[in-house]
Structure 1
Amino acid sequence: MLAAAGIAASLVALPASAQESGGTLVMVTQPEPPNLAPYISTSGPIGQVASKVYEGLVNIGPDFEILPSLAKSWEISDDGLTYTFSLQEGVTWHDGEPFTSADVQFGIMDVLREVHPRGGSLLQVIESVDTPDDLTAVLNLSEPAPYLLVALNGYESPIVAKHIFDGTDIRGNETANAPIGTGPFKFVEWQKGQYVRMDKNEDYWQDGKPYLDRVVVRFIADAATRTAAMESEEVLLGGFGAIPNIDVPALEELPYLEATTEGYGYFAPMMQLQFNTSKAPYDNEKVRQAIAYAVDRDFVVENIWFGFGKVATGPISSLFEPTGLYTTDGVIDYTVDDRIEKANALLDEAGYPRGDNGIRFSMVHDMTPYGEEWRRFGEYVKQALGEVGIAVDLRYEDVATWLKRVYTDYDYEMSSNWLFGLPDPVIGVHRQFHSDQIRQGTVFVNGMLWSTPEMDALMDKAKTENDPAARAELYKEFQQVVTEAAPVIFMHEMEFVTVYNTKLHDVVTGPLGIYNNFADMWMEQ
């Protein structure tokens, strides 16, 4: 699907003889991650760091071809129920222990299926993993899952070491902040509030790689300082909003800096507002619809994200249009010219008239703690909802506190957020709306506490439907129902920018972008 959208590598690799070893890559990530445990959280900054340490069974190439990683080859049975992986020889964990099929079995069955935010849904189709020998892992499925192989990459499904995690509290394992993987870089230290340092894995299983000596990921809270650090070459790389969109055009004018919007094809990120539908008045569909009408999506894209993005119409990104899974047919259009009038009428119908002071009710809007754009967006929301009589108080907290508030305590009313749609709705979209994804303490799943048996059945059917036309009809109904119920306000399909110094080569080598492991990146000395 995403290959059809034109996703490709932004840089062409030079011949091996031209590549140079050595150098320290300094990249900036915003905000600082709450931990370095991608098996328990898909928080964006975690993946940017931990993907250099942990690996998956496969990798993803420029045109979404599936490439070897910890698995050197694989076979899928004709009925689609058995995946047999032949593993790489001579792979060791960063503590020197050998990597074997037992790690694959444990990592999938005891970790990813149990505590990973998306694994609880995505990998439930895997009933068991057999280990006939140390270098063979056999996945036995309960039903065909054509979306599975692409999801076994290192970002989505990182394999962890059985000897480190077995018998421990997975969520509380001490390696959450000091990861031990098989990747091209070894974790060295985390100076909180400053940086994470990872050094070259001299025993990496790919001969001659990585080329870089070290990766240092810096955390700089102030947006202007991040831009200045890129300009002064203190920082060589930043993506996923680390460099504010407003500063990108000026940085591109500098001869030693480049910018690209490629390397985000895997993610299909969607910016949104979500409600806690267990709390009044957000348990009222009319109230949620009114707020959906009140916010001006075009204004947000053009004036807060400076044109980087596309107005969203529903839960499925328009990137899925080539597959037939995306539609606007029968989907409520919240961008109509008379949207303010509609919002006011719905709030009146819902039983929330304006008081003498013009206020219908008050709310707290929890802003995504990912930078200045989100603060500005919060300020806009306050202004827009004030126009229809809703008084908004803004709350901005650190990432860990925000995640706990929304996904563990459910102590919020409305929060801004952004989630990855990923290469198939089963992987990235179902988790937000299915009843079985109301998983207290698990982040980036159904934190709205909204679901219906009918919608669960619809998603379950779409998950296993192999006929493209029939599947498209199921997702058409899905988009119609979700946009009408409005537990989420879909604002815009986000377009991120990666800014990098031209001394870096092979920065973006596929749709995972800076979530790749950087084994192929090299630097001119």
Structure 2
Amino acid sequence: MLPFGRSMGSALAVMLAALIASGPVAAQKAGGTLVQITQPEPPNLASYISTSGPIGQVTAKIFDGLLEYDFNLKPQPSLAESFEVSPDGKTITFKLRKNVKFHDGKPFTSADVQFSVLEILKKHHPRGISTFADVTAIETPDAHTAVFKLERPAPYLLMSLSGYESPMLPKHIYGEGDIKTHPNANKPIGTGPFKFVEWRRGEFIRLDKNKEYWREGLPYLDRIVVRFIGDSSTRTAAIEKGEAHVAGFGAIPYNDVKKLAQLPNLEVTTKGYEMISPIVELIVNTKHPPLDNEKVRQAIAYAIDRQFIIDNVFFGFGKPGMGPISSNFAPAGLFAPGVDYTVADRVERANKLLDGAGLPRKEDGFRFEIVHDILPYGEEWQRAGEAVQQQLAQVGIKVTLRYEDVAKWLKRIYTDYDFALTSNFVYNLADPVLGVHRFFHSDRIKPGTVFVNAARWSTPETDKLLDQAAIENDPAKRGALYKELVAKVTEASPEIYLLELNFPTVVNKQFKNVITTPLGIYGNYATAYKE
């Protein structure tokens, strides 16, 4: 969390501008191809309208943001070489870097910032809807100055300006046609260190070095190849043999990660997720009987054996989830555990709740039947689905499992709402406004927008708490608001929190500077090099 909010002054602006001045280290060699495994294959490369996990693993190398971040979650200059916040927090002035070109050779200007934020991210990005809600205008007094005008102070906005989260787009390209069906959705053009070259569906995406990148001497690598390998054992073998060099976000099975960590040519790290704080959850369709009954949702929450899933599916890479806000926010005073569904008599409580809901067991031993749509991101999610199936059977809920491709799953969950129960992992990001509010606020029930309020649960009371927390600058008062919110959300159980996930990333040691930001693989690899 950042300590600043209302006023940072020119001193910080100068400091940020200076941070970029240090050039590449001479000992680092240019050349080489880094092969990254991403699982599953992304549905598209439109990171400006979709936050589907695999997309950003590719597009963060193509698009730059106004800022990037260090491991202390402090902003670092990128397309903005400096910024200054007014004393009242309602004006943020960004000084943009000069001589930056898009991959088609056209210049990057403040008009592109204005377009990207107001016309694309604020209207269409699942999290940008919240991030930029208070941005009422962006003034462009010249080609290299963008002045954000805010209705209210929004300090969290400065935590969401990376190339992964808020990509800057060329207005002359993406300003033409329907952004949701844009022809460049799968042929992206940005200002980043690597250019899109080709996408062979089911095989790989190729990105080549941007020789006119604005950071002199970078990138070092000639090429990035992002491979898609359906079979998990083949993915592991590719990393082990050196045919691929980096994989994260569960692309390598968790049991294999521990074996690979013993090899001298490989490194396993959990760094690079500090700005993400992923939580594994079940989303409940609260409009789907009998899941529209709070007692039934609570029963499901009690029935799930979280520790079993942590130990047997994710091989210890996590801890039980206690609510929508990660315990990583404890130092900032924003974490509070919700209802404890891990109690020793949880199964008995689940059965009692289901009996009280008027759902007795039938002759076959089951009370009712639902379909569980499994997150289509790999075999561990299938195993997690099987665990949920077995655990809910113990309390008389018959579960059928369904596993579809990413595009079908996204449409089913976030457009058609044609589901009862689904698994997911979601990002808290660097502030609850960015990563948590979207799942509960009534104005985030937006058919066709992914990773927002698919449960379609909200109340006037929780809406008010979210609105107040978004603008509260006093940390203690803000923490109290979130504590009340978590209590209400976990009691209602529109989402059921399984675990806080610690993703491991496997990196071949011949490649250096691969994980250099708290976004990890969502970084741009500009300074990565091969020894």
Q: TM-score range by the shorter chain?
A: over 0.9
Match of 2:140 in 1: 131
Following superposition, the deviation at residue 327 of structure 1 comes to: 1.5
Identity value in percent? 58
Residue of structure 2 aligned with 1:110, choices 108, 112, 119: 119
User: How far apart are the structure 1 equivalents of 2:347 and 2:250?
Assistant: 31
The answer to whether 1:249 aligns with 2:258 is yes
Contact 1:292 1:486 in 2 (8 A): yes
Q: TM-score, normalised by structure 2?
A: 0.95
The answer to whether 1:489 aligns with 2:496 is yes
Spell out, residue by residue over 1:232-259, the C-alpha distance to the aligned partner (whole angstroms, 9 max, x if none). Answer: 1110110111111100121112111111
The answer to whether 1:339 aligns with 2:338 is no
Following superposition, the deviation at residue 2 of structure 1 comes to: 9.0
Contact 2:71 2:274 in 1 (8 A): no
Contact 1:76 1:82 in 2 (8 A): yes
Contact 1:63 1:510 in 2 (8 A): no
Residue of structure 1 aligned with 2:224, choices 215, 232, 237: 215
Residue of structure 1 aligned with 2:515, choices 508, 511, 515: 508
Q: Which residue identity lines up with residue 376 of structure 2 in the other structure?
A: P
The answer to whether 1:464 aligns with 2:471 is yes
Residues 362-381 of structure 1 mapped to structure 2, 5 A cutoff: 362-381=369-388
Residue of structure 2 aligned with 1:449, choices 456, 463, 468: 456
User: What SS does the corresponding residue of 1:74 show, helix, strand or coil?
Assistant: strand
User: How far apart are the structure 2 equivalents of 1:58 and 1:433?
Assistant: 28
User: How far apart are the structure 2 equivalents of 1:324 and 1:86?
Assistant: 33
Residue of structure 1 aligned with 2:28, choices 19, 34, 37: 19
Contact 1:458 1:474 in 2 (8 A): yes
Contact 1:55 1:159 in 2 (8 A): yes
User: How far apart are the structure 2 equivalents of 1:14 and 1:393?
Assistant: 56
Of residues 13-22 and 391-400 in structure 1, the stretch that sits farther from structure 2 once superposed is: 13-22
Match of 1:8 in 2: none
Evaluate the alpha carbon distance shift between residue 444 and residue 386 of structure 1 in structure 2; reply closer, same or farther with a 3 A threshold.
Answer: same
Residue of structure 1 aligned with 2:315, choices 271, 284, 306: 306
Spell out, residue by residue over 1:233-291, the C-alpha distance to the aligned partner (whole angstroms, 9 max, x if none). Answer: 11011011111110012111211111100110000000000111111011100000000
User: What SS does the corresponding residue of 1:16 show, helix, strand or coil?
Assistant: coil
User: How far apart are the structure 2 equivalents of 1:17 and 1:152?
Assistant: 30
User: How far apart are the structure 2 equivalents of 1:91 and 1:146?
Assistant: 27
Following superposition, the deviation at residue 62 of structure 1 comes to: 2.4
The answer to whether 1:33 aligns with 2:42 is yes
User: What SS does the corresponding residue of 1:415 show, helix, strand or coil?
Assistant: strand
Match of 2:199 in 1: 190
Q: TM-score, normalised by structure 1?
A: 0.96
Spell out, residue by residue over 1:182-238, the C-alpha distance to the aligned partner (whole angstroms, 9 max, x if none). Answer: 000000000000000000001111110000000000000111000000011110110
Match of 2:19 in 1: none
Contact 1:2 1:266 in 2 (8 A): no
The answer to whether 1:58 aligns with 2:35 is no
User: How far apart are the structure 2 equivalents of 1:315 and 1:232?
Assistant: 39
Q: Which residue identity lines up with residue 429 of structure 1 in the other structure?
A: V
Match of 2:8 in 1: none
User: How far apart are the structure 1 equivalents of 2:303 and 2:478?
Assistant: 33
Which fold has the larger relative contact order, with Cα–Cα distance below 8 Å and residues 6 or more apart in sequence?
Answer: 1
User: What SS does the corresponding residue of 2:156 show, helix, strand or coil?
Assistant: coil
Spell out, residue by residue over 1:128-187, the C-alpha distance to the aligned partner (whole angstroms, 9 max, x if none). Answer: 000001111000000001111111111111111100121310111111001000000000
The answer to whether 1:98 aligns with 2:107 is yes
Unaligned runs of 5+ in 2: 4-21
Residue of structure 2 aligned with 1:232, choices 241, 250, 274: 241
Q: Which residue identity lines up with residue 498 of structure 1 in the other structure?
A: T
Following superposition, the deviation at residue 468 of structure 1 comes to: 1.0
Residue of structure 2 aligned with 1:49, choices 58, 66, 71: 58
Unaligned runs of 5+ in 1: 4-12
The answer to whether 1:271 aligns with 2:275 is no
User: How far apart are the structure 2 equivalents of 1:414 and 1:482?
Assistant: 17
Contact 2:159 2:431 in 1 (8 A): no
User: What SS does the corresponding residue of 1:402 show, helix, strand or coil?
Assistant: helix
User: How far apart are the structure 1 equivalents of 2:384 and 2:162?
Assistant: 33
Q: Which residue identity lines up with residue 215 of structure 2 in the other structure?
A: Q
User: How far apart are the structure 2 equivalents of 1:134 and 1:14?
Assistant: 25
Match of 1:426 in 2: 433
Spell out, residue by residue over 1:27-62, the C-alpha distance to the aligned partner (whole angstroms, 9 max, x if none). Answer: 100000000010010111000000000111001112
Q: Which residue identity lines up with residue 268 of structure 2 in the other structure?
A: A
Match of 1:10 in 2: none
User: What SS does the corresponding residue of 2:469 show, helix, strand or coil?
Assistant: helix
Match of 2:487 in 1: 480
Q: Which residue identity lines up with residue 516 of structure 2 in the other structure?
A: T
Q: Which residue identity lines up with residue 211 of structure 1 in the other structure?
A: Y
Query: What is the count of residue pairs matched by the alignment?
Result: 513
Residue of structure 2 aligned with 1:85, choices 78, 94, 107: 94
Q: Which residue identity lines up with residue 57 of structure 1 in the other structure?
A: L
The answer to whether 1:201 aligns with 2:210 is yes
4+ residue runs over 2 A deviation: none
Spell out, residue by residue over 1:4-48, the C-alpha distance to the aligned partner (whole angstroms, 9 max, x if none). Answer: xxxxxxxxx997121000000001000000000100101110000
User: How far apart are the structure 1 equivalents of 2:449 and 2:103?
Assistant: 28
Residue of structure 2 aligned with 1:356, choices 360, 363, 366: 363
User: How far apart are the structure 1 equivalents of 2:156 and 2:292?
Assistant: 33
